[in-house]
Amino acid sequence: MKQKAGRGNSKAVSYNKWGYIFLIPFFAVFIVFQFVPLVSTVYNSFFENYRSGLIQVGPNFIGLENYKTLFTNGELLTYTKNTLIMWVMGFIPQIIVSLLLASWFSDQRLRLKATSFFKTVIYLPNLIMASAFAMLFYTLFADGGPINLILMQLGILQEPFKFFSSIWGSRSLVALMNFLMWFGNTTILLMAGMMGIDPALFEAAEVDGATSTQVFWKITLPLLKPILLYVMITSLIGGLQMFDVPQILTNGKGEPVRSTMTLIMYLNNHLYSKNYGLGGALSVCLFIITAILSLIIFKVSGNDKKAR
């Protein structure tokens, strides 16, 4: 009896060891590809380090000079605003449509046919490369492109509407593309959340005579909160890092009037001159902005207070 217990103990210890061994790959990858770059970004942000033509300038330590440049020219604020505006414009329709679709797909009473076909179809836009998708939109919405031709032939427009010369026109296009690309993904996530809700609750509600609207607002939504929060935070982080769509759509310029210039596009501009100093400072700011916004969402949604 005693012996048995002893053996059991030693077994537990050796299992622990394996646990750590299996964690090593993750930590190795994390340190090499995430932690080291993160630290070196912060380190780089204190240096003047760029290339002018073929001449390398620096690295010279200049303290907080890069941050001063960023904050004094006021552009950081503009591009943060642009990024957030385009994210919100895309996210609101995205979350509404996704919630609607997810509740339809997961609703047993509707008995929808060919759900897996439609699930695949709505996910498809996400599989197209963002750059290819942006090129397509660029051609479709060009001043003399098919969309304008159709609108003119239908008599809706007298003259072609210049989407890429209009601030809200081009912002809407970016938002529309992000919406189209991501609503499928969000739908799948929300559906997974809804299917995880105990069916007994729905049945009980049904027995009590709740309408489907009531079921949605009183049962589905509150129980979906953790997933919704996850969707919001990942989408926010993805939105702040918005780059490929506006970059390709506006040819890297963020025109008109730099109103579609996102933070990462701004960062990319600094890489033209290999400006690692200013680029690093900008990345650090982006990191802080993302952290703050995520915290705000976390607090506002009340998830920090162990609701259940």
Partner 1 sequence: MKKRVLSALLSTAMVMGLLAGCGSSAADAPAADTSAGTEAAATTEAASDEGAAVAAGDEGSVFNIYCWNEEFKSRLTDHYPGYEEVDGTTGKIGDVTVKWNITPSKDNAYQNNLDEHLLTQADAAADDKIDLFLIEADYALKYVDTEYTMSLADLGITDEQLVNQYQYTKDVVTDSNGNLKGASWQGCPGVLIYRRDIAKEVFGTDDPAEVQKKVADWDTYKATAQEVKDAGYYMTSSVNDTYRTYSNNVTSKWVVDGKINIDDNIMKWVEDSKTMYDAGQIANTTELWSDDWSKGFFQDAKVFCYFGPAWFIDFSMAADTEGSVANAGGWAATEGPQGFFWGGTWICGATGTDNPSLVKDIMLKLTTDETIMTDIVKADNDFVNNKPAMAAMAADTNYKSAVLGGQNPLRMFCTGAESVDLSNQGAYDQGCNESFQNAMKNYFDGNATLDESLEIFYSSVEEKYPELSH
Binding residues for partner 1, rule: CB under 8 A, are 50-57, 73, 75, 139, 142-145, 162, 165-167, 251-253, 255-258, 266, 269-270, 272-273, 275, 278
Taking the complex as a whole, the smallest distance from the CB of residue 266 to partner 1 amounts, in Å, to 8
Taking the complex as a whole, the smallest distance from the CB of residue 193 to partner 1 amounts, in Å, to 40
First to last CA, the chain: 43
Phi (first) and psi of residue 58, to 5 degrees: 85, -160
Q: Which is nearer to partner 1, 185 or 275 (CB)?
A: 275
170 class by beta-carbon count within 10 Å (0-12 exposed, 13-18 middle, 19+ buried): buried
Q: Which is nearer to partner 1, 171 or 182 (CB)?
A: 171
SS (H, E, C) 22-85: HHHHHHHHHHHHHHHHHHHHHHHCCEEEEEECCEEEEEEECCCHHHHHHHHCCHHHHHHHHHHH
* Tokens 């982006």 belong to residue: 286
Sorted by sequence, the CB contacts under 8 Å of residue 308 that are 6+ apart come out as none
Q: Which is nearer to partner 1, 130 or 188 (CB)?
A: 130
Q: Which is nearer to partner 1, 49 or 186 (CB)?
A: 49
CA angle 239-240-244, nearest 5°? 70
Q: Which is nearer to partner 1, 225 or 253 (CB)?
A: 253
Q: Which is nearer to partner 1, 78 or 212 (CB)?
A: 78
CA-CA distance, 282 to 263, in Å (whole number)? 8
CA-CA distance, 29 to 228, in Å (whole number)? 29
CA-CA distance, 49 to 72, in Å (whole number)? 19
Taking the complex as a whole, the smallest distance from the CB of residue 95 to partner 1 amounts, in Å, to 31
Taking the complex as a whole, the smallest distance from the CB of residue 260 to partner 1 amounts, in Å, to 12
Taking the complex as a whole, the smallest distance from the CB of residue 115 to partner 1 amounts, in Å, to 40
Taking the complex as a whole, the smallest distance from the CB of residue 268 to partner 1 amounts, in Å, to 10
